[in-house]
Chain A
Amino acid sequence: MMKNILATLVVSTGTLALAASAFADYPERNIEGIIQWGAGGATDNVARSLTPHVEEALGTSIVLTNRPGGTGVIGMNTVLTKPANGYTVLYGAENPQLYPIMGLADFTYDDMTPINVIGQGLVVIAAPADKEWANFGDLLDEAQANPGTLRMGGTGAGGLPSTVLAMINSVDELDVRNVTFGGDGPGITAMLGGHIDFMPLSLAAAQEHIASGRLKGLAILTKESIEELPDVPPITESLPQIESYLPWGPFWAVAVREDTPNDIVKTLSDAYEQGVANEQFQQFLSENGAQSLNLQGEEAEQFLNRWQSVTAWALEKAGSAKVSPEEVGIPKP
């Protein structure tokens, strides 16, 4: 009997001490960083370049693990099933904002607390260099003269090319054959071999090929031309109506579970803010055709909501949404 009481006492004091220290000096052990895309991809590269600078600010190690699959559903689900104690963080891309309307999952970044919206990638519509088109307007003319014959490289429903196609179709008409590849890389390979006619790509993936002269940029998804590719016209030149959706692009964010204690969220937010602001990381972003955002707290939430509502309603308007944004409570932009 005495033994039992003693044991209970020891255990409870131990628990108390643990609980107290958890609040006092977070982080006291390694943090697990779950990347929702595979090794070597854009999200993975961003996560692995950023993390060492955050580790420095945080004074602990962040162990990165790739949990790819299901457009990132698996990775996000993994984080949502771990305790909300700040020891598991998600490195994600833009996809979770479209899960409900693609019928993939019923969670989005709304179900998490954003720590940092790191940056946004630019999008360029690229074609093989031997195409006669000078800009996106020429492509649009040819597609409208021969509907359903041009081959567009895609990455599946909910992927970047389909979303861009939907945006274009919500303001104009572009009827093409959508050929699905496993990602930007395999799509570019097919385009270099002349097996597809054009593909909307992240600037990071396309810029080296445009610089080498094997691909050409027909339009960039911005209102004004950009420094990295001065010769590529902004899409608004050929398609002014699309302006209401811009600026638009894929983004990367870090998030934790919604019910994580506030002081832990604060510690993480500060560390990631410092990490993203690091000069070396900023240089990495600009070299890879991305704009730094470094948003925390309310600003981050606003960004995420706007992105979701603009994109989801564009998909709905083009008839590409499986579930209406209205049904899942996404407000109109």
Chain B
Amino acid sequence: MADSLAYFLMSWTDLSLLTLTAVGTFAGIYIGAIPGLSVTMAVSILISFTFAWDVNDALALMVGVFCGGVYGGSRTAILLNIPGAPSAVATSFDGYPLAQQGEAGQAIGLSTVMSVIGGLLGVLVLASTAPVLSEFALQFAPRDYFLIAVLGLLLVGSLAAESLSRGIFAASLGAVIGLVGMDPVTAEGRFTMGSMQLLGGIHYVVVMIGLFGVAEAFFQLHQLNVKPVRQNVEKIIPSLNLVLKFLPLSIRTSIIGVIVGALPGTGGDIASLFAYDHAKRSVKNPSKPFGKGAYEGLVAPESANNAAVGGAFVPMLTLGMPGDAVTAVMIGALVIHGLNPGPMLMVTTPHIFWFVVGALVLANIFLLIFGLMGIKLFAKVVELPKAILIPLILVLCVVGSYSLNNSMTEVYWMLGFGIAGYFLKIFGFQMGPIILGVILGPLMDNSYRQAMASVGDSLPAFLTELITNPLSIVLTIAIVLLLLSNFPLKRMIRGSKNAS
């Protein structure tokens, strides 16, 4: 116990570790804020960079970048309607409307505090129940991942603001985009039209930058002459009352975040969309309508995606299995530093676990400090003349997509999606459902085929498993309830009465 505490406090008491965590968090915020500069990429670069360092130094820096980066994605989502990372997509739904109403400062302030609350709750779960939670996560069979993907696709009802049919179209389009590339089972090209470049698929961040960044920049050209909204930069730090008011929602969505984050194969991007949907369903009287600047719509995804960070470390530290793309890279880093990430990690090197927990808590504290610093300056970004802002956005989009793979192919794709997204926007399509499809399409495809292969490609056997396995039953019931709640049953009954 005393040992654990010593390892926990290691990054707090050692000046160089403290500085590295701080630097990592600060850098992470800005890496996360730029669409296309991803945390995964930053951590991969750090592996080579920190090769000769002590493993604790390297971990402190990476943990900082991870925490800062997941939070940073919300910055540009709120200010420019361009999520810096897929996990901040849901943040833009209500964050950007707030910025347009002159409340960018308050929105960033609130999202910072909620991110930190979510982040700390995630670490708390990691520290207290990691072994139990990872055993629970192992119980998820391929069919359960399939059910989660189906459940996720049903969120389209929440994300498609006005027209459900347009939302379904957009999600299907997204799913097709997500399926481009080599078929994981047969190694045949799918929708690749013979192009070798397409065998690797279309990077979903490219789709996101195009649809949100470029399309948004083009769309704002319509409002060149509209005077930017003056930003109110008073009281940017949310009052205790406000925080307490949203605390229950924040806790609920953090739990969603940490569980989805702990499942290998799903991460903060899916968690934040689930959380947004949960907020929309459970909050009866939001501060403003959802999609028009509801604080609740900001609180939910921001708590969830930061809680997912703690969740992602659960399978990594207990089993040596990645919880998401970033922890996959961090496992590589541990291997290179001569550690053996696996189920024995906590037995042979218990200090790694407590060191990471300590560094995560520390990074969240730095997140609060750095996040609340400079908001006034940032909020002014929205007040920039469009003639300066729009070219700036486009430059960021090009840099971001080029740096994904250091290749122009991604830039062309990004521009293509930008133009397509512009026209889709004009015809009233939402961008959220497309991203939903891109993320969930491949998950649904893989898990369905895994589940079917497991039962010898027998549909009756597959369906029987859905209603005989306890975990699958729960998920199946959730899907049925969600479907029923979308049908206006009461109105239908009343309608039939009136008719008779």
Contact = CB atoms under 8 A, between A and B. Distances in A.
Contacts of B181: 69-70
A164 interface: no
A48 interface: yes
A40 B453 contact: no
Contact of B454 (A104, A179, A214): A179
A209 B342 CA distance: 6
Contact of B199 (A74, A179, A182): A74
A298 B232 CA distance: 71
A250 interface: no
B229 interface: no
Interface in A236-286: 283-284
B456 interface: yes
B174 to A, nearest CB: 19
Contact of A67 (B319, B405, B450): B405
Interface stretch (A13-21, A119-127, A134-142, A149-157): A149-157
A214 B196 contact: no
Contacts of A156: 183-187
B138 A189 contact: yes
Interface stretch (B120-128, B237-245, B328-336): B328-336
Contact of A193 (B51, B139, B333, B340): B139
B185 A180 contact: yes
Interface stretch (B40-48, B71-79, B353-361, B381-389): B40-48
B142 A212 contact: no
Contact of A189 (B51, B52, B319): B319
Contacts of B338: 283-284, 287
Interface in A160-216: 177-182, 185-186, 188-190, 192-193, 195-196, 208-209, 211-212, 214
B354 to A, nearest CB: 20
B101 interface: no
A54 B75 CA distance: 41
B453 A65 contact: no
Contact of A177 (B138, B446, B456): B456
Interface string A307-331: 0000000000000000000000000
A132 B200 CA distance: 40
A305 B264 CA distance: 38
B322 to A, nearest CB: 6
A189 B187 contact: no
A180 B336 contact: no
Contacts of A177: 453-454, 456
B142 A185 contact: no
B182 A69 contact: yes
B315 A189 contact: yes
A40 B45 CA distance: 11
A234 interface: no
Given A69-B200, A73-B199, A74-B199, A193 B138 contact: yes
Contact of A188 (B321, B446, B453, B456): B321
Given A193-B138, A211-B344, A70 B182 contact: yes
Nearest to B201: A69
B331 A190 contact: no
B138 to A, nearest CB: 4
A186 B337 CA distance: 23
Contacts of A103: 187-188
A12 interface: no
Contacts of A148: 456
A186 B265 contact: yes
Contact of B332 (A45, A67, A195): A45
24 contacts: A39-B40, A39-B43, A39-B44, A40-B331, A40-B332, A65-B405, A65-B406, A66-B44, A69-B199, A74-B199, A151-B453, A156-B185, A177-B453, A179-B454, A180-B185, A185-B264, A189-B138, A189-B315, A193-B138, A193-B141, A208-B341, A211-B344, A284-B338, A288-B335
Interface of B: 40, 43-44, 47-48, 51-52, 138-142, 181-188, 196-197, 199-201, 264-265, 315, 319-322, 328-333, 335-336, 338, 340-345, 347, 405-407, 446, 449-450, 453-454, 456
Given A39-B332, A40-B329, A283-B338, 15 more contacts: A40-B332, A41-B332, A52-B52, A66-B44, A70-B182, A71-B182, A103-B187, A104-B182, A151-B454, A156-B184, A179-B142, A179-B450, A185-B264, A212-B347, A287-B340
